[in-house]
Amino acid sequence: MVNRPGRDGSFRAFDATAQGSVNWAGSPCKIGAAIRKGGVVAWDALEERKDIIKREDEQMSTQLDSAPERILRPPEAPARPVERKALTSSFAYPRDFLGNRFVYLTISPRARGLSIGVNLNPDRKCNFDCVYCEVARAEPTVDEIVDCEAASRELEATLALLHSPELRNRAPYSTLSSELLQLKHVALSGDGEPTASPRFLEVVEGVVHIRARGLFPFFKVVLITNGSHLDDPEVQAGLRLLTSRDEIWAKLEAGSQKYMDLVNRSSVPLEKILNNILETAGKRPVIIQSLFCSVEGHGPSDEEIQQYAERLRDLREAGAKIPLVQIYSATRPMHTKKVQHLPLRMMSEIAARVRHVAGIRAEVF
């Protein structure tokens, strides 16, 4: 059982196994399943989810990017043999490393399609220890630190592959729709916190250099971060290299230190995360990412959701530009029974609370 708000705004007991909610929460996995099977187009899963959310809340909107068409031949693949599994999984979405060490492809619901990821944390170390994190830290690592030259070569090769007919000859991409195969962004991400990498600035330089050479259609860069290092001078130098079309997606999943200690399990205080988001979002828009889950059978309380929404309101009132809050839940299969996804209804209620209290657009993914 979890809590859900009643008409007066107070949360009440709610059966987390309610039909429909569980069905919806499984939708993102359909996308992964389609990739794993090399099977049918998974775009329907996104549309299905959108429709459900629209019925519950009519304020949903979409932001789709388009890219100019240009065909290039892919350069040769990196020479070094790689002991990495072709398909690995993180947060329930398969990542296809294409034989690379650092650069992978994935279909991401929050990207609304194909994303290239650059893993800045091959050592799988993170300064958070999120209760829902699915990074397999116990498994042996291939690299301890990102090799910037290799990552740049891999990114270039991957971009070339995406813009060549060759992608269609590879499973599992041969049966996916053209829409699903449009590149939505290049994500600076990782099996840890990307901005904690001592090579963060170098990686950003490499990515924007490839973009500036104009060999490929323009691609958006998205930094996916837990926000803890946004105040580092090197990170700020990297952010200055990004354009206004690039995005920062920053994690905020608690309104109180107590709840952050339960979910994110980090020595970085909530206050620092809020300050870093405020400082960064004062200069450029920051999209907030919030994963809510149930821990040992309990979802976030009404009081916690209220505090979370109030922190967002405080940020907005202090001048933070937050165009969107992405609300989503842990996806299955979970690595521990201790953590479970929240039903769609509860995530929709959290989104409604954000809109009502903070006055910020919120979408459920």
| CB of 127 vs ligand SF4, minimal distance in Å | 7
Residue from the set 133, 160, 188, 248 that interacts with ligand SF4 by CB under 6 A: 133
| 254 part of the interface to ligand SF4, by CB under 6 A | no
Q: Does 139 bind ligand SF4 (CB under 6 A)?
A: no
Q: Closest Cα partner for 288 from 354, 236, 242, 201?
A: 354
Question: With binding defined as CB under 6 A, does residue 226 bind ligand SF4?
Answer: yes
Least CB distance from residue 192 to ligand SF4, whole Å?
5
130 forms part of the interface with ligand SF4 (CB under 6 A): yes
Match 């065909």 to its residue by tokens.
71
Q: Is 89 exposed, middle or buried (0-12, 13-18, 19+ CB in 10 A)?
A: middle
Q: Does 253 bind ligand SF4 (CB under 6 A)?
A: no
Judged by CB under 6 A, the stretch of 5-13, 30-38, 129-137, 281-289 that binds ligand SF4 is: 129-137
Among 147, 193, 253, 349, binds ligand SF4 (CB under 6 A): 193
Q: Rule CB under 6 A: is residue 194 a binding residue for ligand SF4?
A: no
Q: Is 192 in the site for ligand SF4 (CB under 6 A)?
A: yes
What residue ranges in 6-90 does DSSP mark as E strands? 11-14, 87-90
Taking CB under 6 A as the binding criterion, the range among 35-43, 130-138, 164-172, 317-325 that sits at the site for ligand SF4 is: 130-138
On whether the CB atoms of residues 295 and 339 are closer than 8 A, the answer is yes
Window of 45-53, 126-134, 279-287, 349-357 that interacts with ligand SF4 by CB under 6 A: 126-134
Q: b or e along 261-298 (b: 16 or more beta carbons within 10 Å of the residue's beta carbon)?
A: ebbbebebebeebbbbbbebbeeeebbbbbbbbbbeee
Tokens of 32: 């992964």
Q: Is there binding between residue 223 and ligand SF4 (CB under 6 A)? A: no
Told to check if 300 binds ligand SF4 by CB under 6 A, we report no
**Cβ burial 50-75 (10 Å sphere, 16+ → b, else e):** bebbeebeeebeeeeeeeeeeeeebe
Judged by beta carbon, residue 216 or residue 259, the one nearer ligand SF4 is: 259
Give the nearest distance from C-beta 59 to ligand SF4 in angstroms.
27
Token digits of residue 330: 């842990």
Compute the least distance from the CB of residue 134 to ligand SF4, in Å: 8
Stretch that binds ligand SF4, among 70-78, 124-132, 278-286, 311-319 (CB under 6 A): 124-132
Does an H or E element contain 146, and which? none
- Full 3-state SS string of 92-131: CEEEECCCCCCEEEEEECCCCEEEEEEECCCCCCCCCCCC
If binding is defined by CB under 6 A, does position 135 make contact with ligand SF4? yes
Which CB, 166 or 271, lies closer to ligand SF4? 271
Nearer to ligand SF4, 264 or 306 (CB): 264
Q: Which is nearer to ligand SF4, 154 or 193 (CB)?
A: 193
Size of interface with ligand SF4, in residues (CB under 6 A): 9
* Residue 2 near residue 299 (C-beta atoms within 8 A): yes
Q: With contact defined as beta carbons under 8 Å apart, do 175 and 38 qualify? A: yes
In total, the chain counts a number of residues equal to: 365
Q: Is 129 in the site for ligand SF4 (CB under 6 A)?
A: yes
Q: Is 128 in the site for ligand SF4 (CB under 6 A)?
A: yes
Q: Are 239 and 280 in contact (CB under 8 A)?
A: yes
Tell me which residues touch ligand SF4 (CB under 6 A).
126, 128-130, 133, 135, 192-193, 226
